[in-house]
Amino acid sequence: MFYWLMKYVVIGPLLKAIFRPWIVGRRNIPTEGAAILASNHLSFADSVFLPLMIDRRVAFLAKSDYFTGKGMKGWATRVFLKATGQLPIDRTGGKASEASLNTGLGVLGRGELLGIYPEGTRSPDGKLYRGRTGIARMALEAHVPVIPVVMVDTDAIQPIGKRIPRIGRVGVVIGDPIDFSRFAGMESDRYILRSVTDEIMVALQRLGEQEYEDVYASTVKDRLLATRAASRGPARR
């Protein structure tokens, strides 16, 4: 009830009036049944405008750190995240990664839509980067289609590091569902998982025509941070 109240009464109408978002391919979202929405990731705003523009509820897996803020600001952030259908997960690896997988499978097991960013983090420069194989494992274990989604210009209104978005139009392009049933029972084969993930990333690249680089976005971010640290030179004593 809270999700729908925020979407259709409190937040949704205001965001649509201000940013005038557009959508192409809405018919590719099934009216019922589970599916994974695999989206590029340009901005925090992606997790707001994607669920806003489709009729069904979408659950996203979000970093648990977002839900642990203190005081009024932390409370407001948690309320907003829950209102946009985001679920807290631990991304530190090992058992935490398994818990994240199980959380996603739980959403799909209830016949709902699960939103995933295969790149694992926001693109630092607008390029599309290599996908993480967790999405492939979920798709094969849950026996669900993967629907490629491209977010357009969300990084223009809210670049990384900006808390308050600028005014501008954003868009959502939804591609045809991809059926991976031919790989049923192969979710433990890492080569199959990589193949499935790469097929998803190819679909995203063709749909959005983003420049693609076959490296993890997190690796690029680490390089950028190292370069910035080096440019500042050694700390003065």
pLDDT in tens, 121-149: 899 999 999 999 999 999 999 999 999 99
pLDDT on residue 100? 79
Tell me the pLDDT band of 60, cut-offs 50, 70 and 90.
confident
Q: What DSSP string describes the chain? A: -HHHHIIIIISHHHHHHHH--EEE-GGGS-SSS-EEEEE----TTHHHHHHHTSSS-EEEEEEGGGG---HHHHHHHHHHHHHTTEEEE--SSTHHHHHHHHHHHHHHHTT-EEEE-TTSS--SSS-EEPPPTHHHHHHHHHT--EEEEEEESHHHHS-TT-SSPPS---EEEE---B--GGGTT-TT-HHHHHHHHHHHHHHHHHHH---EESS-HHHHHHHHHHHHHHHH-SPP-
By percentage, how much of the chain surpasses pLDDT 70? 86
pLDDT on residue 200? 98
pLDDT on residue 130? 97
Asked whether residue 82 carries a pLDDT value surpassing 80, the answer given is no
Average pLDDT, the chain: 88
Q: For residue 82, what are the CA distances in angstroms to 59, 85, 97, 124, 182?
A: 9, 5, 21, 25, 35
- How many CB atoms are closer than 10 A to CB 210? 17
- How many CB atoms are closer than 10 A to CB 163? 6
Q: CA-CA-CA-CA torsion for 27, 29, 32, 35, nearest 10 degrees?
A: 160
Structure-block tokens of residue 122? 């926001």
pLDDT in tens, 166-186: 999 999 999 999 999 999 999
**Interval 36-42 mean pLDDT:** 97
Asked whether residue 92 carries a pLDDT value surpassing 60, the answer given is no
Q: Which are the contacts of 32, defined by CB distance < 8 A and separation ≥ 6?
A: 111
Tell me the pLDDT band of 99, cut-offs 50, 70 and 90.
confident
Please give the Cα distance from 46 to 171 (Å, whole number).
10
pLDDT in tens, 189-232: 999 999 999 999 999 999 999 999 999 999 999 888 888 788 77
pTM recorded for the entire structure: 0.88
Structure-block tokens of residue 12? 């949704």
pLDDT on residue 95? 61
Asked whether residue 90 carries a pLDDT value surpassing 70, the answer given is no
